[in-house]
Structure 1
Amino acid sequence: RLQHNLHTVACGCGKVHTAARPQGVPAAPVSLGVNLRSWCVYLMAWHAIPVHRVAELVTSLTGAEPSPGFVHGLLKRAAAAVEQANLRIRALLTLAHVVCCDETPIRVGPKAGPGRGSKYLLVACDRRFTWYQVGDRTLRTFTQSVIAEATGVIVHDRYQNYDSAQLGEHEHQLCCAHLLRDLQDCAETYPDAAWPGQIAEALQGLIHAANLARAQGRDTLPAGTRAMWTRSFRHGVRIGLAEVRRTPGPAKTVTQPVGRMLLETLRDRQDDVLRFTSDLRIPPTNNQAERDLRPAKTQQKISGRLRSERATQHRYAVRGYLSTAAKHGVDLLTAIRESLLGRPWMPPDPAPA
């Protein structure tokens, strides 16, 4: 830990001279240096350590005594420092060939009654970039997100907003991990039926074949392998539709049997289910998005409810910047420090596919 004392002296001629401030030292009578500020932001945004505990840790490790208010205010400063980097991340994601999407509830602000004090955290990402948005699950929030501007394939869990015409025209990849979980539910509901296992086996076979082809540097699946598993998939869907009959009546008043809506999705949106088999750049699941949302769930367990929506937006602005930097192998403390010095790390242009 370094301490800088800036001395002011008066010359015999009456002119007053003050020592120059080192780079990163704020113009305040007493302040923390950029390294300690970087540590505070790193602990809060990356490790989800609560504000008061961050202040205690800094005091224990360095002898400096930042107030919790000062520590909390660093999130706002850091969010402003990485704003341009996040704008670039958003722009690069809109041009990405594939964007994985997901959303999760988070507790924000005081709880004033049932359903109050809750928001949703949306993520749009790929293996290079991460972008977060704090909002809700309404279509209005979705139309303000990267998803509405994306030009590539969007990978998602079939939540209805992803298919809204208000988001524009997109190619879709339905998350096969969610489909396999739904098929497992069907297998438990209809223990004597063969179709849930047949469809699941076909999906798993195609996923394995795609992973193997990708590892071998191939651009496509072997035609015979793809045809075999696709035929098994279709036959399983047909059998399921024949065994699980649709209940007649208006959709708003009639509840369909377990698995019927899933089977209709597999039949009507086969291209969206199996798109990954024709383009190996497309992942079969939105697991990347779930991985990038998992820290939010960890934060809820560690620190609980977040103080305000604005502070939460600052937190995830910094988190998206750091997640993207981590995906590029950048040291995170260096990325924070440089941003606080006015030199934020900027994600490079992606390599040509």
Structure 2
Amino acid sequence: PSSDGLKKPTVKKDRSLREASGKKQGAQEGHEGVYLSVISKPDHTENHMHSDCDGCPYHDTCLAKACVKETRHEIDAVVTVDVTAHNLISVPECPMHGGSRTGSFPAGIRATVQYGKNLQAMVVAFNTVGAVSINRTHEILSSVFNIPLATGTIKNMVTRCADSLKGTYEKIRQKTASLGLIHCDETGSRIDGKTWWVHNASDRDYTYLSFNKKRGRIGMDAADVLPHARGIIVHDCWSSYWQYADVTHAVCCAHILRELNGVIENHPDQTWAPKFKKLLLDMKKSRDEAVREHKDELNSHQLSQYDAEYDDIIKTAYEENPVPETTGKKRGRKKKSKVLNLICRLDNYKESVCLFAKNFSVPFDNNQAERDLRMVKVKTKVSGCFRSEEGAQEYLTIMSYIGCANKHHINSFTAIREALNGNPDIIFG
């Protein structure tokens, strides 16, 4: 945080995986490029003649004979407020059926004055996807659209959207629980003045976010996804995930690489760490090449070679970091160093670390879960906290739905508008 000032810790547990590429900044050679283009027919056309033509009696005659030498387009946005008046018509005497006949308002028109679905969808998108606070949303709408939308009304719009998604939110949970491969992660957030934990279960098609006071098994069980899972779960090796015995575990190798970078920088005497890092990257390179060649697996020779190299490096790691022996003077196990703890994890969970090389449906990292949780961190950073459990649940319900919609190539605004129109199940279509 900025309160720490410019002083950084001298010892870091891990390091970023990003390294200097040596390439120049900006687009690289061969990049197609993105440029501003005309996206529709012009709404207005203006002709610009020479200044000498202004006020000339032959202006129109010359314009009729002239040709367009060059055209330039100016794309702008026009901010307007569209008001529709719904009139209830009453016919005093119907010539066909007799008696008076009075029409009825559309189902969504319930008040004398109310806001339309487009405006409501924009408000909800500001507050959730845009992480804009209720007060700032009020200020933007008041200044740009000249709509004096009350902060309480903004909150009610978000609540109504979340309420319309309760059934869809449950369907997302059921879909996620039945997935063959689930990305799992958790992150802390402040809710009602206390630290709560947001739990994520997702894949490339679905996102399910929930929250609980507990980070571990209790919070995961409360999300009601992992207790039903029977496939593969990808995680960062957090101990609570290993308590699920009916699944196959895959460890995020990106987390391991970050820890290895920390060991390499802070402990130069650890010769095993750069070797293990190279091994992981070599395995990933071989897997990527096999995928490009449309292969389903690495050949047995490659796997046995990597397997033997893995064991040799772990053996060297233990030699450089022997397990402390217990003595009779003090009860219990001796405390291990962080480096030794990492070595033990790599040794104990070898199959889960290497699963990506044996099963190509398993990713090398857990970036999917981290991306799905990123907006929660942004919202927490912008707002500081959620004031209530109800507000947190509304946010996670809407963001779970929007996460699924985006993965199905539906933009956030359209998804929210469809939810407010009573059609939230478009994400399952």
Question: Quick one: structure 1 residues 72 and 211, their matched pair in 2 at CA, closer, same or farther if it must change by over 3 Å?
Answer: farther
Give the corresponding residue for 2:354.
274
CA distance 1:261–1:188, change in 2 (3 Å):
same
How far apart are the structure 1 equivalents of 2:105 and 2:245? 52
Partner of residue 51, structure 1: 134
1:99 maps to amino acid = I
Which structure has the highest helix share of the two?
1
For 1:77, which of 148, 151, 160 is the aligned residue? 160
Query: Which residue is 1:156 aligned to?
Result: 235
- Report the Cα offset of residue 74 of structure 1: 1.9
Q: Distance in 1 between matches of 2:286 and 2:242?
A: 28
Query: 1:10: how far off?
Result: 6.4
2:367 aligned residue: 287
Alignment-derived partner of residue 324 in structure 2: 247
Please state whether the residue corresponding to 1:236 is helix, strand or coil.
helix
Query: 1:37: which partner in 2?
Result: 120
Cα shift at 1:22: 4.0
Q: SS of the counterpart of 2:425? A: coil
Structure 1: gaps (5+ residues): 112-116
1:17 & 1:251 partners in 2: Cα distance? Answer: 91
SS at match of 1:132: strand
Is 1:23–1:341's contact at 8 Å kept on the other side of the alignment?
A: no
Give aligned pairs, total.
Answer: 339
Q: Give the counterpart of 1:174 among 251, 258, 263.
A: 251
1:288: how far off? 0.7
Aligned-pair distance for 1:209?
Answer: 2.1
Is the 8 Å Cα contact of residues 8 and 16 (structure 1) preserved in structure 2?
Answer: no
Secondary structure of the structure 1 residue equivalent to 2:183:
strand
- Pairing partner for 2:221 from 133, 143, 147: 143
CA 1:51–1:159: 2 relative to 1, 3 Å:
same
- Hey, what's the Cα distance between the residues in 1 that align with 2:196 and 2:102? 49
For 2:107 and 2:411, the matched residues in 1 are separated by 20
Q: Aligned partners of 1:315, 1:149: CA distance in 2, in Å?
A: 25
Aligned residues of 1:176 and 1:285 also touching (Cα < 8 A):
yes
Distance 1:309 1:251, change over 3 A: farther
Q: CA deviation at 1:260?
A: 1.4
Q: What amino acid is aligned across from residue 210 of structure 1 in structure 2?
A: R
State the match for 2:406 in structure 1: 326
Alignment-derived partner of residue 37 in structure 2: none
Unaligned ranges ≥5, structure 2:
1-80, 94-98
- More off after superposition, 331-340 vs 80-89: 80-89
Q: 1:52 to 1:233 in 2, by over 3 A?
A: same
The alpha-carbon deviation at position 16 of structure 1 amounts to: 8.2
Kindly state the Cα deviation for residue 9 of structure 1 after the two structures are TM-superposed: 6.4
Show the counterpart of 1:263: 343
AA in 2 matched with 1:336: I
The corresponding residue for 1:207 is 284
TM-score by length of 1: 0.88
Moved more, 298-307 or 93-102: 298-307
Q: Distance in 2 between matches of 1:311 and 1:34?
A: 21
Q: Deviations over 1:163-206 (max 9, x none)?
A: 12xx4521100111111122223223431232111111111111
Q: What is the percent sequence identity of the aligned residues? A: 26
SS at match of 2:419: helix
- 1:259 alignment partner, SS class: helix
Would the alpha carbon gap of residues 247 and 18 (structure 1) be closer, same or farther in structure 2, given more than 3 Å must change? farther
Deviations 1:37-62 (A, max 9, x none): 11111111111111111122223333
Label 1:3 to 1:119 Cα distance change in 2 as closer, same or farther (>3 A).
same
Aligned to 2:183: 100
**Could you tell me which residue of structure 2 aligns to residue 114 of structure 1?**
none
Q: Aligned to 1:266, what secondary structure does the other structure show?
A: helix
The structure showing larger relative contact order (alpha-carbon pairs under 8 Å, at least 6 residues apart) is 1
Quote the RMSD (CA, aligned, Å): 2.3
Name the aligned partner's letter for residue 217 of structure 2: L
Kept after mapping to 1: 8 A contact 2:90/2:103? no
Structure 1 residues 268 and 61 mapped into 2: Cα distance closer, same or farther (>3 Å)? same
Contact 1:55 1:67 in 2 (8 A): yes
